[in-house]
């Protein structure tokens, strides 16, 4: 039985176009794709606010193009640098620090919040947007992994709407639309398998960050690219799907599909599988969420199935890529275990990207962190963020001793 995380208002209750957007994480891969959609459809959106963690020069160029009234960055020196780069005659309000992302997410004039900060840092603004009753186009899967239960409750209380940008969950959303949730037997998330899908197990110890960053089909930020290579991305997505669709993890299956054309499938009790197919281009899912329930004509080459020829499917290699099952175990154990899992993964991925630890050490440190975590009630966001901080320190210490 599907129990969606938020209500889904009808057409008449949704904001008319142009919709006023806050784009959080504007300088990242999803943020850039979002602004590309907005640039191609100027009548559909008004960019009210943009935020960036780094890459101030890009944020300045984006701001000069879209002229939002509000900008936010992580640090004060970034704010100064940004101000100096803006064109004459344009003087937006520039905020800084983690609180500033919460401020943008809750601006009264903002109707749709595109949540695309990477990692646990995305949780506070996403939860704030949920409490403020916004429409949330959600790319930041980590916020559901950490606090899906709090976001669900906030949506119920405020009337906020969550629309999944993550391509698999967006595919499921489209495959479930108009059907009876009680008829769904299970969901199937597809996975590309990452760059090491066919590598022999013993070679995985030699993987470099450069190799792991080369995703076969998608162009994405560094963290999610590494998560795709370890299959942790699919683990996080299983947890994300449990929260979005209100299902236990054993009703969310994973199937490796190397072509990344079938983005996921809903399996109904009569044996029907409804799938969503498309090019591996995030603009499709982003535009769907920003315009829901309408669709935009996107400037993409048509999906030529005859040219692709065959779509193949296989089971994931669970023993060689243990992160997927570690995520399943964490979500079964409880919300605080998911916080520990995610924090350990973020620290390990960051250290792997800086060549400080090996590829297998990512899964090993996640396993260590979850095994050493004694679950407790992750009842509020402060408790969650505190556990996130504490686990990061512990895992960094562990990896320093046993890299
Ligand atoms: P990215 O690394 O390319 O961009 C991240 C953005 O967040 C940047 O704007 C960065 O400056 C900002 N940022 C980083 N740390 C921050 C902090 N501490 N505080 C505030 N801002 C910070 O990441 P991405 O690939 O665009 O992914 C963004 C989110 O979307 C992730 O949660 C990812 O899992 C999810 N997602 C991405 C894709 C994709 O194709 N890239 C697909 C599905 C889901
Ligand atoms: Mg995905």
**pLDDT, tens digit, 9 for 90 and up, residues 100-133:** 999 999 999 999 999 999 999 999 999 999 999 9
Is pTM beyond 0.95 here?
yes
At residue 246, does pLDDT exceed 90? yes
Counting atoms of ligand 1 from 1, which one is nearest the CA of 98?
Answer: 19
**Atom 22, ligand 1: residue with shortest CA distance:** 53
CA of 223 to the centre of ligand 1 (A): 8
pLDDT class for 136, splitting at 50, 70, 90?
Answer: very high
Residue to mutate, 75, 79, 116, ligand 1, most ligand atoms under 8 Å from C-beta: 116
The finding on whether 121 has its CB within 6 A of some atom of ligand 1 is yes
Task: Give me the percent of the chain exceeding a pLDDT of 90.
Answer: 97
The finding on whether 117 has its CB within 6 A of some atom of ligand 1 is yes
**Atom 9, ligand 1: residue with shortest CA distance:** 25
Tell me the ligand closest to 346's alpha carbon.
1
Counting atoms of ligand 1 from 1, which one is nearest the CA of 33?
Answer: 26
Give mean pLDDT, residues 126-148: 98
The finding on whether 141 has its CB within 6 A of some atom of ligand 1 is yes
Tell me the ligand closest to 194's alpha carbon.
2
Task: Give me the percent of the chain exceeding a pLDDT of 70.
Answer: 100
pLDDT at 218: 85
Counting atoms of ligand 1 from 1, which one is nearest the CA of 101?
Answer: 20
At residue 322, does pLDDT exceed 90? yes
Whether the upstream peptide bond of residue 18 has omega within 30° of 0, thus cis, is: yes
CA of 178 to the centre of ligand 1 (A): 31
Give mean pLDDT, residues 222-250: 98
At residue 403, does pLDDT exceed 90? no
Give mean pLDDT, residues 261-283: 98
pLDDT at 159: 97
pLDDT at 216: 87
**Atom 36, ligand 1: residue with shortest CA distance:** 139
**Atom 18, ligand 1: residue with shortest CA distance:** 121
The finding on whether 240 has its CB within 6 A of some atom of ligand 1 is no
CA of 94 to the centre of ligand 2 (A): 32
**Atom 15, ligand 1: residue with shortest CA distance:** 53
pLDDT at 191: 98
**Atom 14, ligand 1: residue with shortest CA distance:** 53
Give mean pLDDT, residues 191-205: 97
Give mean pLDDT, residues 63-82: 98
Q: Average pLDDT of the chain? A: 97
The finding on whether 278 has its CB within 6 A of some atom of ligand 1 is no
């Amino acid at each position: 039985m599907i129990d969606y995380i938020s209500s889904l208002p009808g057409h008449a209750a949704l904001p008319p176009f142009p919709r006023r957007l806050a784009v959080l994480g504007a300088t990242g891969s999803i943020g850039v794709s979002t602004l590309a959609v907005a640039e191609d459809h100027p009548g559909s959106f008004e960019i009210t606010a943009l935020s960036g963690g780094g890459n101030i020069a890009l944020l300045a160029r984006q701001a000069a193009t879209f002229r939002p009234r509000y900008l936010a960055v992580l640090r004060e020196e970034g704010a100064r640098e940004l101000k100096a780069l803006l064109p004459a005659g344009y003087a937006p309000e520039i905020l800084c620090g983690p609180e500033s992302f919460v401020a943008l997410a809750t601006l009264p004039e903002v109707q749709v919040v595109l949540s695309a900060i990477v990692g646990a840092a995305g949780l506070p603004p996403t939860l704030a947007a949920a409490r403020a009753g916004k429409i949330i186009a959600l790319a930041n899967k980590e916020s559901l992994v950490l606090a899906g239960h709090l976001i669900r409750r906030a949506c119920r209380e405020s009337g906020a709407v969550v629309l999944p940008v993550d391509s698999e969950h967006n595919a499921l959303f489209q495959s479930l639309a108009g059907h009876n949730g009680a008829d769904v037997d299970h969901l199937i998330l597809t996975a590309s398998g990452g760059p090491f899908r066919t590598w022999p197990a013993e070679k995985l110890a030699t993987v470099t960050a450069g190799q792991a960053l080369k995703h076969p089909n998608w162009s994405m930020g560094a963290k999610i690219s590494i998560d795709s290579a370890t299959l942790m991305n699919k683990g996080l997505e299983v947890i994300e799907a449990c929260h979005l669709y209100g299902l236990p993890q054993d009703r969310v299956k994973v199937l490796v599909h190397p072509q990344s054309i079938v983005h996921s499938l809903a399996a109904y009790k009569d044996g029907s599988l409804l799938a969503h197919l498309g090019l591996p281009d995030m603009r499709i899912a982003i535009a769907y969420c920003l315009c829901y329930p309408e669709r935009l004509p996107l400037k993409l080459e048509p999906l030529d199935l005859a040219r692709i020829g065959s779509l193949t499917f296989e089971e994931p290699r669970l023993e060689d890529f243990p992160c997927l099952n570690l995520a399943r175990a964490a979500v079964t154990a409880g919300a605080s275990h998911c916080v520990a899992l995610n924090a350990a993964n973020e620290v390990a991925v960051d250290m792997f990207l800086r060549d400080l630890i090996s590829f297998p050490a990512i899964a090993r440190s996640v396993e260590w962190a979850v095994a050493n975590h004694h679950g407790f009630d992750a009842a509020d966001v402060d408790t969650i963020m505190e556990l996130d901080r504490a686990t990061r320190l512990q895992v960094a210490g562990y990896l320093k001793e046993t890299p």
